[in-house]
Amino acid sequence: MPGIDRSKFHILVPEAHALGAIAVIRSLGHAGYRVHACSSDPKALGLKSNFTDRAMVCPDYGDTAFISWLRAYIRDHEISAIVPSEGFMHAIHDHFDELRHLMAVPQDHDIAYSAFSKIDVTRTLTSSPESKVWQRHLPPSLVVAWGEAVPSIDDIRELGAPFFLKGDARDHKYGQDSLILRLETAEAAHTALVEALQSYDALLLQGWVGGVKAAAAFCLDHENGKPVCVSGVLGLRTTPHQGGMMTSRESWRHEKMRSVAEAWLKRISWRGVAMVECKWDPDTDEFWLIEINARYWGYLHLDLFSGVDMPRIQMDRFFGVTDENAPRQKLGVRCRHTLPGDASFLISLLKDPAVGRREKVWGVVRFIADFADPRLHSDLLFPGDRRLYWLQASQYLADTAGRIWRRLRPSPGPSSPSEILKPAE
C-alpha cells in the first residue's frame, strides 16, 4: 500500500467467536495490519487464528468492568481503530462520543444507533418522500409502540401468515434482549404482541414474503457515504431449512436490488459497512427487505473468496488511502459453513415430518458429495488458517457424540427393592 505501513496500525476486532469477525481478522491480518482479537469466550476460534497478533479474553458486555477494560486496552496497546459489531455498539452506547473516532461509522450518535434499530429503519423508509417507490420492496409491516392501540386480529391477518414479531435490544425495558418470533396464526401473533409489549417500548410485526434469501453488501466511505466496493450473495441453504442463517451461498449480482439497497442506506444516512438482506422470488424477480445489518455479516468469507476484500479496503480508506480501485466480485463462487451450519440444515431437514423421503435422501447425498467438490469453499477452511476448521470440526463431533451418549445412556433406576416400594411423597 503506497505511503502507509499497515504494521503500524493496531486494530481491535471484538466478538472473535463470531464467523463474520473471524473473516475480518483473517482479512486484516493477511493484509499486514496488527489485529487484536477479543472475546468473553476463551474458546473463541478467532483468538486462535494465525492472523491474530494478540488474543485477549475480555469481560462480558454485561460486566461493569468492560468499559474500564476497553479504555485501558486502547491506551496500553495504542489501538488505531475498532471494527464494531452490533453487540459492541450496544455495549458502548453511553460512551459512543468517547470512542467514535476509532470507528468507520456515522459520527452522529442518533444516526449511528438508528441503523441498528429495525423499528427506526422501518419508520424512516416508510415515512420518506420516496416511500411510494420503495413500498413494493418492503414487507407488510406494523410498528406498535407501548401505549398505542394494539392491532386487531383481522388487521394482523391482512399482513399474511406466518408472522414475524421483532424487538430491538435498545427498546427492551429491563435489559438488552432482542426478540424475533415466528408465529403461524394471527391469533398467536396477537397474543405474542400483547405479551411482548409488557417488556418492549416498541415492536415490529411483519407478514410473510416468499422467495429465497439474497443480499447486497456495501462498504460506504466513512466520510461521504459513497460506495467504495459492493458485493452480492444468493442463499442456497439456510439453517433451519425453513429459513435462517445462509449456511450455503453463492456470489451473485442483482442490479435493481443493489440500486434500491444503496438508496435505503442513503436514506438512513449510513456510513461504513452494511449488508441489506432481502427475500428474492426467482419466478417474478421481485424482492423485499428483511433487514439492514449495519456491521460485518456472517457470510463474509464468501466475499473474501470471490475477490472483495472488504475489511482491508475499509481500513485502508479509514487510514487515508483513497485511490483504491473498486474490485469486481467474481460471480458463481460458492461457500458454505460446513460444521455446524450445513450439518444443522441437514438435521432440520431430516427432522421435519413435512419433508418427503426422497428430498431427505437427496439432502444426505448432497451434504456428503459437497466434501468432494473442489470448487466449493468452506468458511473456516481458509488459506493460511486451516487449523480453525479442524478445531471447529473436532469440537462439533465431540459435542454431537456427547449428546448421543446422554440420550442412549440408560437412566439410573432404583438401587434397592425398598426404593421401588417407597410411596411417592
Residue at grid coordinates 417507490: 133
pTM for this one? 0.92
What pLDDT digit, counting tens, does each position of 268-316 carry? Answer: 999 999 999 999 999 999 999 999 999 999 999 999 999 999 999 999 9
What pLDDT digit, counting tens, does each position of 377-409 carry? Answer: 999 999 999 999 999 999 999 988 888 888 887
What pLDDT digit, counting tens, does each position of 189-219 carry? Answer: 999 999 999 999 999 999 999 999 999 999 9
Going along the chain from its start, the domains and CATH numbers come out as 8-103 (3.40.50.20), 140-206 (3.30.1490.20), 213-405 (3.30.470.20)
Section 94-109 average pLDDT: 97
Q: What pLDDT was estimated at residue 37?
A: 98
Lowest-confidence segment of 160-169, 174-183, 197-206, 295-304 by average pLDDT:
174-183
For residues 102 and 85, the answer to whether their CB atoms sit within 8 Å is no
Whether the per-residue pLDDT at 62 is higher than 60: the answer is yes
- The Cα 38–Cα 23 span in angstroms is 14
Q: What pLDDT was estimated at residue 421?
A: 37
- From the list 293, 276, 272, 264, the residue with the least C-alpha distance to 225 is 272
DSSP letter at 336 equals: E
Non-local CB neighbours of 382 within 8 Å, separated by 6+ positions:
26, 301, 304, 388, 389
Q: Which residue has the higher pLDDT, 135 or 105?
A: 105
